[in-house]
């Protein structure tokens, strides 16, 4: 008698529906992405990051009074505790920023974490994470350069405050608005690896901080969170627009993958790419990085024509981040800051389901091997 049939595994879990969510809708068929029913491009054009974070965490866009209260609560939670600051100062300066901030998050968990938070407590913890993470990133960035961290400013909005914390960043009105829109476009993306890691952890009943540490660790992996930094590196390697054709020819002949192209879910162009292309173009023109942007545009055209692979959202984040003065080594950490409202919204949603997320694996190793005493084994 045979057992029940087991479905064949799908490599990479592509298109497997693992759970239901009301946080984010990603539609591969028509190339759309929405938060709580709102198109991400419209949010990028018309919303602010604080308003979008409220939407993701609370489920609806805020009223004016609700947004003022929410923004005020975030601003009051920005300052690092002495224990977190001491811990960050102990991290060797050569440590990758993602690993360094993880130290601060672990200390924060000891200060404010509690098992199985109720909805009210969970929301307060989510707001603390959202408010404090930019301060940690800014502190790490300055400590790496031998500088003293800058105190956050309660008088500034989220994006402007974040830029003031980073060494050498542009804090002009244009740069602030560009970063604000970029943060919105990155705030969630359904069950990407880091969000799924957070939800799997939350499903065990782990606290919010532990779940976010899982997400943070997953994002630090180069296959997930390093795309924008990789794009910046290849743009530097190519150097100028007229060198693109030869560079692409050589890479394709070698069978090498080109960073920043081919989304794992969207079949055509990522719906965020066009918007970011425009933002990057405007900011590069302001910053005197026209050649960098022209090289990016030429690379996009060449790769799409030759391979049919479209640029992902990270592709134009690379020149945009450069244009507003964000150091390359912080690109992944900035991604993590933008993703915090999405991560926390997914964790809070997962707490509403008491079922453990426990997928199966198809075993492909040896079976029925007899055990032999160690003296009779041969190398």
Tokens in use for 274?
């066009």
Contact 370, 377 (CB under 8 A): no
Q: What are phi and psi of 34, to 5 degrees?
A: -140, 150
Tokens in use for 268?
């055509």
263 is catalytic: yes
- 3-state SS of 288-325 is CCHHHHHHHHHHHHHHHHHHCCCECHHHHHHHHHHHCC
Residue 33: strand pairing partners: 26
Strand boundaries in the chain, DSSP class E: 24-27, 32-35, 38-39
Residue 194 CA from chain centroid, whole number: 8
Contacts with 210 (C-beta within 8 Å, 6 or more apart), sequence order: 109, 113, 201
| CA separation for the pair 78, 150 (Å, rounded) | 12
Tokens in use for 306?
């030759």
Quickly count: other Cβ atoms within 10 Å of residue 44's Cβ.
Answer: 22
Please identify which of the residues 180, 227, 263, 346 carries the catalytic annotation. 263
- Tokens 């054709």, located at residue: 245
Contact 156, 184 (CB under 8 A): no
Please identify which of the residues 188, 270, 314, 346 carries the catalytic annotation. 314
Which letter, b or e, does each residue of 166-188 get, where b requires 16 or more Cβ atoms within 10 Å of its Cβ? beebbbbeebbbbbbbbbbbbbb
Strand order of the sheet with strand 38-39?
A: 24-27, 32-35, 38-39
Q: How many residues does the chain have?
A: 379
H-only helix segments in 91-205: 97-112, 119-144, 158-165, 173-185, 193-203
Contact 77, 132 (CB under 8 A): yes
| CA separation for the pair 203, 353 (Å, rounded) | 7
Catalytic residues: 263, 314
């Amino acid at each position: 008698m045979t057992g029940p049939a087991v479905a064949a595994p799908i490599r990479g879990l592509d298109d497997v529906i693992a759970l239901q969510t009301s946080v984010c809708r990603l539609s591969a068929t028509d190339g759309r992405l929405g938060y709580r029913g709102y198109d991400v491009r419209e949010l990028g054009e018309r919303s602010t990051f604080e308003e979008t974070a409220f939407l993701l965490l609370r489920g609806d866009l805020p009223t004016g009074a609700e947004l003022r209260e929410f923004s005020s609560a975030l601003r009051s939670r920005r300052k690092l505790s002495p224990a977190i600051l001491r811990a960050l100062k102990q991290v060797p300066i050569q440590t990758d920023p993602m690993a360094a901030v993880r130290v601060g998050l672990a200390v924060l968990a000891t200060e404010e974490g509690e098992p199985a938070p109720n909805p009210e407590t969970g929301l307060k913890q989510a707001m603390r994470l959202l408010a404090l993470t930019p301060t940690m990133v800014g502190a790490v960035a300055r400590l790496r350069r031998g500088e003293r961290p800058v105190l956050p400013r309660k008088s500034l909005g989220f994006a402007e405050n974040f830029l003031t914390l980073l060494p050498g960043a542009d804090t002009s009105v244009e740069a602030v608005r560009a970063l604000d829109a970029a943060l919105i476009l990155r705030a969630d993306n359904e069950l990407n690896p880091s969000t799924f890691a957070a939800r799997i952890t939350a499903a065990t009943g782990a606290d919010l901080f532990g779940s976010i540490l899982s997400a943070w660790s997953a994002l630090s992996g180069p296959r997930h969170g390093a795309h924008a930094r990789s794009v910046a590196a290849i743009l530097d390697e190519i150097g100028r627009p007229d060198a693109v054709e030869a560079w692409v020819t050589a890479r394709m002949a070698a069978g090498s993958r080109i960073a920043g192209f081919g989304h794992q879910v969207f079949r055509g162009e990522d719906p965020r790419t066009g918007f970011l292309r425009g933002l990057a173009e405007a900011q590069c023109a302001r910053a005197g990085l026209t050649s960098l942007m022209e090289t990016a545009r030429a690379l996009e055209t060449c790769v799409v024509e030759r391979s049919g692979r479209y640029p992902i959202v990270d592709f134009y984040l690379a020149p945009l981040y450069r244009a507003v003065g964000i150091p390359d080594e912080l690109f992944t950490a900035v991604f993590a800051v933008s993703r915090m409202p999405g991560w926390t919204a997914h964790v809070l949603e997962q707490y509403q389901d008491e079922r453990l997320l426990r997928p199966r694996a198809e075993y492909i190793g040896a079976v029925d091997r007899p055990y032999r005493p160690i003296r009779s084994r041969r190398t």
